[in-house]
Structure 1
Amino acid sequence: MDNIGTRGMTPVVSKTLAIGLATLYIAGMTTALLGGVVPSYETRAGGEMSERVLATATTEIERAPPAVGGTVETRTTVTLPETIANDGYQLVLSNGTDTLTLIHPDENIERETRLSLPSTVTPRNSTVDGGTVVITVSGPPANRTLALGGEP
């Protein structure tokens, strides 16, 4: 009689051990991926995305000033991603340095580039969140101002 009860328990114990080992393996792999591999991949992908966003914004800003005589008031709308690596970001246009900076909560994703604008165009210090960006150029041919703004 003792043998019959022991044989019935062996499959239950082996299945329980197999389930426990599988659970430990899945938990270990999840911890390893979420603790190291995935965050570094997100940072690299976010860095590449920020470079593309900055390049797109820079290209549109540099193309915005019209090459026409007379006083102008133009608006160019650029649609950029609202987030990079699941966080919001800002584009900062600086007058003193003629730079466009992408500010992000993760400093590894932040980028900056120098703008190539005509000497008659002065950038106005402005900050805009990612998403829809409006580039405004206004003024006479010898003294035009370029600024960034949000949705019109």
Structure 2
Amino acid sequence: MDSSRIAADERGMTSVVGKTLVIGIVLLYVGGMTTLLLGGVVPEYRSTAGAELGDRVLATAGGAIEQSVSEVNGTVRTNRSVDLPSTIRGRHYELELAGTRLRLRHPDPAIEGELSLALPPTMSTTNATWRSGTDLQIRVSGPRQNRTLTIDS
């Protein structure tokens, strides 16, 4: 009888040890996958998505600036507002207009970009910087032969 009691006690202990080992293996797997994803895959995806959003912001702003230029005779005064994302990858950014170049500046260099604008030769630009968080304001004014374009908040 003593041997049957010992065998029953060992079987009960085997079940507890088995469950503990399974829980430990599951925890190691989940911890390893979390480390793998947060250490490499997820940040790389966020950078790629941020760079694509930066390209779209540049294209949208550049297209709006180019469309604001009108070829009508006489003096014009045009104001246009463009809604752009307030952040890219959780950080604020800037658009810098210098001549016919529009540049996106961001704390992450992988998101930065530059675009050449197609403006008429009679159009002069005011070097300006717009900071995200408000709508982009595009202003065009002056006579046809000497129009000025600027951006601000």
- Normalised by the size of structure 1, how large is the TM-score? 0.90
CA distance in 1 between counterparts of 2:27 and 2:109 reads: 36
CA distance in 1 between counterparts of 2:97 and 2:58 reads: 11
User: What is the letter of the counterpart of residue 110 of structure 2?
Assistant: N
The structure having more radius of gyration, on CA atoms, is 2
Q: Where does residue 147 of structure 1 map in the other structure?
A: 150
What secondary structure, in the 3-state scheme, does the structure 1 residue paired with 2:43 have? helix
What secondary structure, in the 3-state scheme, does the structure 1 residue paired with 2:149 have? strand
Could you list the runs of 5+ residues in structure 1 that have no partner in the other structure?
none
Structure 2 counterpart of 1:52, from 56, 63, 66: 56
Q: Where does residue 108 of structure 1 map in the other structure?
A: 110
Q: Where does residue 121 of structure 1 map in the other structure?
A: 123
Stretch of structure 1 that moved more, 103-112 or 126-135: 126-135
Aligned residues: 148
Q: Where does residue 23 of structure 2 map in the other structure?
A: 19
What secondary structure, in the 3-state scheme, does the structure 1 residue paired with 2:119 have? coil
Give how far 1:28 is off. Answer: 0.6
Structure 2 counterpart of 1:66, from 67, 70, 76: 70
Please identify which structure carries the higher strand content.
Answer: 1
Question: Post-superposition, which runs of at least 4 consecutive aligned residues in structure 1 deviate over 3 A?
Answer: none
CA-based RMSD: 1.4
Q: Where does residue 132 of structure 2 map in the other structure?
A: 130
- Counterpart mapping for 1:73-92 below 5 A: 73-92=77-96
- Counterpart mapping for 1:25-40 below 5 A: 25-40=29-44
- Normalised by the size of structure 2, how large is the TM-score? 0.90
Could you list the runs of 5+ residues in structure 2 that have no partner in the other structure?
none
Identity %: 49
Q: Where does residue 8 of structure 1 map in the other structure?
A: 12
